[in-house]
Amino acid sequence: MPSVATLPKSGAAGAQTAADAGILVVDGIVKQFDTPEGPLVAVDRVSLSVRPGEFLAVIGPSGCGKSTLFNVIGGLIDRYQGAVTVGGETVRGPHPAIGMVFQEESTFPWRTVIENVAFPLEIAGIARKERLEKAKRFIALVGLNGFENRYPAELSGGMRQRVAIARTLASEPKILLMDEPFASLDEQTRLLLGDKVLQIQQDLQQTTLLITHNITEAVQLADRILVMTYRPGRVKRMVEIDLPRPRSSDVVSSEAFGRYVAEIWSDLREEATRGMQDEESRTLHAGAAS
Amino acid sequence: MAEASRLNLPAAPNTGAKPRTVGRAEPVLVVRAVIIVFILLFWEAIAQSGLLYRDVVPSLLAIGAAIVKLLSAPDYYWHLWVTASEVGAGLIVGGLSGLLIGLALGGNRVLSKAFEPYLYYLGPTPKIIFFPVMIMWFGVGPGSKIAMGAISCFFPIALSTAAGMRQIDKVLIRVGQSFRASAWQMATKIYLPAMRHPIINGVRLGLGVAIIGTLLAETKLSNQGVGFLIIQAYSLFDMPRMYAMLIVLFVLAIGANALVGRLGGLSAIRQL
């Protein structure tokens, strides 16, 4: 059972309210799902605020409602309590200021790389010539020059995910919202792609909200990390990552990096353990019931 | 019946994916050629031996001459045009209604549960049993032939469209929504291209059964079209001419199928 002690304890997280100068403000989100075993609170009173130009990571064990939070902020889920505001404007449905990058393979297999990246511009009704030129710039930004006319099937998984990132960036969102964008990639590719994302984020001063379960990824990329609890997903703690910028994947070998990873793991371990025990007992009950 | 066995339900959309290894293609070609030559020799042997009535199994030379004669008669092309336009009209009517019904079934779980089982059971039944009804509704002219073609191709196209719609990768739909695509943009830029393989496969199956339905109807009751010519040659006992028409038809059907298959094959390269 979630004890009171797992609720936000430090002032750092608690003070993140609408009053903060956040470009993206998430205020007291509660999302409940109806399951066969009764209502399940996926996200419970989560509040956070992302400052302009900041890289914020949300980390938590599986089943902490991370993806639910992602869909709520992206406007793909409705019927929740609380509010999401972008520059003071309440989000109702997908908002033009928020660009989403999904965890799953999400490039359109019937479109070439450049047609994929130009997709949001096509949706917005921008003329063909102009949108292809613009798409080319964003393809260069993710380092895929020369692959403009290839189909996704001809690329590696990491390259396809870069196409997806370029596509979202091409819509020039104020806030880049990513849900485990590297989850399906191997560790080396993940680190290198992390570099790429860092570089782009630093070049564009791109406000970014990354949802992840990977501690090293979060510490490598983020300015601040919000740690969530296992079911129901609550804010456990906010950790400031005081590592020098501009940053690259070299940072993983520094001593400070190790300290941050250890610190976050000590927070997360408790939650992950609880999650694992919960999974085990539910599997056991499911087995006994059948 | 031929119709029942040809109608494969759209379970396996694995059409345009022939392995094209050079090392293996050659023995396959040799085997094919040998089998065809063997069949031709066997045919000629029976024709020459006189074991069967000479007219039932005419010699290859006679059939060849009949093919030449057939293809040089302008009359034949008019009948071919009649059949082709009946098949084409049937494919358009049956295909469009199949597409619409398929989209409705694929997009709505309740409708799908309520009606799809009927389509599955009706799909493989020989549609020729509806021909008397079609004659009464649409007359003895091309109308009833088009109706037969349309009924035949409706089922595979509706079923594969419905299955294709359910197989769409959900994340692609979420991508479209996140970029705030309109309903029309979602339909034309995401749903239809994402479903192109099952739809092309359905059209390919649909074309096959539309040809069968139309020809079968023409052989039953008509005064024009290739089916009529075949049955006419049969009743006049002009066997070389009948075989000539069957062979030409066979080649045309293969060509039409290959054409639609090629459409699907081209885009298969682009598939993940």
Q: Please state the domain extents for chain A.
A: 1-94+209-264
Residue A290 has pLDDT above 80, yes or no: no
Instruction: Please state, for a pLDDT cut of 70, what percent of chain B lies above it.
Output: 87
At B96-123, the pLDDT tens digits run: 999 999 999 988 889 999 999 999 888 8
Residues of A in contact with B196 (CB under 8 A): 110
The number of C-alpha atoms within 13 Å of A28 and in the hemisphere containing its C-beta is 5
Residue A9 has pLDDT above 70, yes or no: no
Q: B217-243 burial string, b = 16+ CB within 10 Å, else e? A: bbbbebebbbbbbbbbbeeeebbbbbb
ipTM: 0.85
Residues of B in contact with A153 (CB under 8 A): 269-272
Pick the CATH number of A1-94+209-264 from 3.90.1300.10, 3.30.70.960, 3.90.230.10, 3.40.50.300: 3.40.50.300
Q: In what order do the strands lie in the sheet with A24-35?
A: A38-50, A24-35, A81-86, A89-90
What is the rounded average pLDDT of the residues B135-157?
93
Contact between chains at B181 and A104 (C-beta distance less than 8 A): no
At A87-106, the pLDDT tens digits run: 888 888 899 999 999 999 99
Contact between chains at B179 and A94 (C-beta distance less than 8 A): yes
Contact between chains at B196 and A105 (C-beta distance less than 8 A): no
What is the rounded average pLDDT of the residues A52-62?
90
> Pick from B181, B193, B271: which is nearest to A123 by CB?
B181
Q: How confident is the model at residue A36 (pLDDT cuts 50, 70, 90)?
A: confident
Per-residue confidence (pLDDT) for residue B69, from 0 to 100: 92
At A243-265, the pLDDT tens digits run: 888 888 888 888 888 999 989 89
CA distance B47 to B41: 10
What is the rounded average pLDDT of the residues A69-73?
92
> What value does the mean pLDDT of chain B take?
85
Q: Which of A78, A103, A122, A123 to mutate to test the interface with B (most CBs of B within 10 A)?
A: A123
Residue B262 has phi, psi (to 5 degrees) of: -65, -40
Nearest CA in chain B to A103: B171
Per-residue confidence (pLDDT) for residue A287, from 0 to 100: 67
Contact between chains at B177 and A94 (C-beta distance less than 8 A): yes
Q: How confident is the model at residue B271 (pLDDT cuts 50, 70, 90)?
A: very low
At B40-59, the pLDDT tens digits run: 999 888 888 877 776 788 88
Residue A236 has phi, psi (to 5 degrees) of: -95, -45
Instruction: Record the tokens describing residue B235, joined without a space.
Output: 């009743």
Residues of B in contact with A96 (CB under 8 A): 180
Task: Please state which of the ranges A190-199, B6-15, B134-143 shows the lowest mean pLDDT.
Answer: B6-15
Per-residue confidence (pLDDT) for residue B265, from 0 to 100: 57
Per-residue confidence (pLDDT) for residue A288, from 0 to 100: 64
- Topology (CATH level 3) of domain B81-238: MetI-like fold (1.10.3720)
Question: Which has the higher per-residue pLDDT, A38 or B70?
Answer: B70
Q: How confident is the model at residue A192 (pLDDT cuts 50, 70, 90)?
A: confident
Q: How confident is the model at residue B21 (pLDDT cuts 50, 70, 90)?
A: very low
Residue B78 has pLDDT above 80, yes or no: yes
Contact between chains at B172 and A119 (C-beta distance less than 8 A): no
- A102 to chain B nearest CA, in Å? 8
Nearest CA in chain B to A121: B179
Residue A42 has phi, psi (to 5 degrees) of: -85, -45
Cβ contacts below 8 Å, chain A against chain B, sum to: 62
Please state, as a whole number, how many other Cβ atoms lie within 10 Å of the Cβ of residue B215.
24
Per-residue confidence (pLDDT) for residue A243, from 0 to 100: 87
Q: Please, which residues bridge with residue A58 across strands?
A: A211, A226
Question: Which has the higher per-residue pLDDT, A190 or A173?
Answer: A173
Decide the pairing of beta strands A55-59 and A207-212: parallel
Residue labelled with tokens 């403009």: A148
Q: Please, which residues bridge with residue A114 across strands?
A: none
Per-residue confidence (pLDDT) for residue B97, from 0 to 100: 96
CA distance A169 to A211: 17
Q: In what order do the strands lie in the sheet with A207-212?
A: A98-101, A175-179, A207-212, A55-59, A224-228, A235-240
Residue A10 has pLDDT above 70, yes or no: no
Residue B272 has pLDDT above 70, yes or no: no
In A, residues 247-286, which contact B (CB 8 Å cutoff)? Answer: none
> Pick from B175, B193, B267: which is nearest to A106 by CB?
B175
Alpha helices in B50-169 (DSSP H): 60-71, 74-107, 109-122, 131-138, 142-166
Q: Is the dihedral of CA B181, B185, B187, B192 positive or negative?
A: negative
Per-residue confidence (pLDDT) for residue A235, from 0 to 100: 84
Residue A198 has pLDDT above 80, yes or no: yes
> Pick from A105, A153, A171: which is nearest to B179 by CB?
A171
Per-residue confidence (pLDDT) for residue A5, from 0 to 100: 40
Residues of A in contact with B268 (CB under 8 A): none
Per-residue confidence (pLDDT) for residue A4, from 0 to 100: 40
- B28 to chain A nearest CA, in Å? 29
Contact between chains at B179 and A120 (C-beta distance less than 8 A): yes
